[in-house]
Chain A
Amino acid sequence: MVRLTDLDSGSAQHLLDKDCPPFETQPFVAGPPLAERRVAIVTSAGLHRRGDRNFDLSDLSYRVIPGDVALADLVMTQASVNYDRTGFQQDINVVFPLDRLREMDAAGEIGSVASFHYAFNGAGQLAPAFEPTAREVGRMLKEDGVNAAILVPV
Chain B
Amino acid sequence: MLRSALALLERGDGPPILDDFPDDAPGDGPTDMTGWSCPIPLPPAPPSDDPALLADVLSEIGTLSPWQALAVEQRGRTGLGAAGVPIETVARFLHDLLEGNGAADNPSDTLTLGQSFRGAAEDLKTYYMEAATAQPGNATSRSVADWFWGGTAAGRLLLALHPVCAAAADDGVKRVATGQLIPRLHKHRLS
Contact = CB atoms under 8 A, between A and B. Distances in A.
Given A57-B175, A86-B141, A86-B144, A148 B9 contact: yes
Contacts of A90: 71, 75, 133
Interface string B70-82: 0100011111111
Contact of B7 (A34, A77, A89): A34
A145 B182 CA distance: 42
Contacts, number: 103
Contacts of A80: 180
Nearest to A23: B16
B78 to A, nearest CB: 8
Interface string B160-184: 0000000000000001000111111
A115 interface: no
Interface residues of A, number: 45
Most buried by A among B2, B76, B118, B126: B2
14 contacts: A6-B28, A30-B12, A31-B9, A54-B118, A77-B122, A80-B180, A85-B125, A88-B79, A89-B79, A89-B126, A89-B130, A97-B2, A101-B2, A104-B3
Interface of B: 2-3, 5-7, 9-10, 12, 14-16, 28, 71, 75-82, 84, 111, 115, 118-119, 122, 125-126, 129-130, 133, 141-142, 144-145, 175, 179-185
